[in-house]
Amino acid sequence: MKIVMVGSGYVGLVSGACLADFGHDVVCIDKDAGKIERLHQGIMPIYEPGLAELVASNVKAGRLSFSTDLSSAIDGAQAIFIAVGTPSRRGDGHADLTYVYAVAQEVAENLKTPAVVVTKSTVPVGTGDEVERIIRDSGTATQFAVVSNPEFLREGAAIGDFKRPDRIVIGAEDEWARSVMSEVYRPLFLNKAPILFTSRRSSELIKYAANAFLATKITFINEMADLCEKVGGDVQDVARGIGLDGRIGSKFLHAGPGYGGSCFPKDTLALLKTAEDYNSPVRIVEAVVHVNDSRKRAMGRKVIEALGGDARGKRIALLGLTFKPNTDDMRDAPSIAIVQALQDAGADVVAYDPEGMEIAAPMLPNVTMAKGTYDAVAGADAVVLVTEWDAFRGIDLDRVGQLARGKVLVDLRNVFNPAEVRAAGFTYSSVGRP
């Protein structure tokens, strides 16, 4: 089956490479000629484990190619995926659909053979209707359908998530579109992956509802962590105690510095805006957005408290900057607000991240970027674990203690064993643990 993937960013590239690996003939398109040129050379625009290898093997097998030219690529394609960005619109927080509609327009102008146009980008309810209108209004004579097929890929685990999904959601309004989509995902049906056919609008909403629910779960446990600190409980025991109840489930109950990344912050905000537009407020999600926003900066205050309430002139080493491990993504990373809070309090911030420093450096111009973990902690008054990269889990605490000026360790991901850290002579604080 010939498939065109428009947008070779995170979602488009991972999905395109995986679909090629299923045996389809896939062309990934991007407007950015530099990106396409680098992809031709095997250079990935993002860091994602396994992606470079998957791309290389499928390019070699002749199933995957890259181009800037959508108009010629779509000829004969049975499925055309839209996987371009839908960032928060500056000013009002609605999802910015400029790129999605521009692709729809270009598809409309060039569509000559029957195709299903699939929206993979996260788009507000009703966007599929508008994409369909754009294509219909172009007067194309060929058969087409517009389908919603949201992605649920986690950065850092995206290839596994694509190939072994919890479920595939397909929002389609006609039988032909459903049959084309069944063909796209045939290898997964053979693996018995649950597939859910819904209306297009339900499918669009499922994506937002899933992300908002997960964001709620995280925010709930984060507030329980705060309460644990006040009442003397241990949030990890609380999380385990509630998570063993099958109705609650144990995942996404790790307390931390607040969620970040390219999806949860923008999608929760966009859901609020949709709900406002339809005069059907989602107050729980409103609270989640608000609580999470203030939490990130509050983590800076937590560090200052660990330093005895005054950070002026203190050197603070941050371990990890990306919003989570195994990615170089800095979008809405808690580290940004934490750095700001510490610098506002007069601290001198130094940081190290295994993959994120190239992207982080221009975003955090007043932070000294260290060459490695031990370089970062040298001379520090406090060490703060911000992102739980595996490389930090096994750090040599004795060595950190020798290199640092002060023995204060703030663990915002509850990675370390409190007894061990204290035995190494540190003043230790973590999230929601005694």
Q: With binding defined as CB under 6 A, does residue 220 bind ligand UDX?
A: no
Count of residues in contact with ligand UDX, rule CB under 6 A: 20
Considering only residues 119 through 158, tell me which ones interact with ligand UDX, judged by CB under 6 A. Answer: 151-155
The two three-digit tokens of residue 110, written as one number: 């060039």
Q: With binding defined as CB under 6 A, does residue 165 bind ligand UDX?
A: no
Of 132-140, 257-265, 278-286, 423-431, the window that binds ligand UDX (rule: CB under 6 A) is 257-265
| Chosen residue from 263, 270, 282, 386 binding ligand UDX by CB under 6 A | 263
Alpha-carbon distance values, 61 to 50, 57, 110, 186, 205 (Å): 17, 6, 28, 20, 37
207 is in an annotated binding site: yes
Which helix (H) or strand (E) segment is 19 a member of?
A: helix 10-21
Question: Within 10 Å of residue 190's Cβ, how many Cβ atoms?
Answer: 8
Alpha-carbon distance values, 171 to 146, 221, 266, 353, 432 (Å): 9, 32, 22, 39, 41
Dihedral angle sign, alpha carbons of residues 411, 417, 422, 423: negative
Shortest Å, Cβ 253 to ligand UDX: 6
Chain length of the chain = 434
Question: Within 10 Å of residue 5's Cβ, how many Cβ atoms?
Answer: 30
Q: With binding defined as CB under 6 A, does residue 338 bind ligand UDX?
A: no
Nearer to ligand UDX, 73 or 123 (CB): 123
253 is in an annotated binding site: yes
Nearer to ligand UDX, 2 or 163 (CB): 163
Residue 28 annotated as catalytic: no
Q: With binding defined as CB under 6 A, does residue 259 bind ligand UDX?
A: yes
Shortest Å, Cβ 385 to ligand UDX: 12
Q: With binding defined as CB under 6 A, does residue 208 bind ligand UDX?
A: no
Of 54-62, 260-268, 365-373, 401-409, the window that binds ligand UDX (rule: CB under 6 A) is 260-268
Alpha-carbon distance values, 86 to 80, 270, 282, 353, 390 (Å): 17, 10, 21, 27, 31
The two three-digit tokens of residue 422, written as one number: 């204290």
Catalytic residues: 263
* Site for ligand UDX, rule CB under 6 A: 151-155, 211, 214, 218, 252-254, 256, 259-264, 323-324
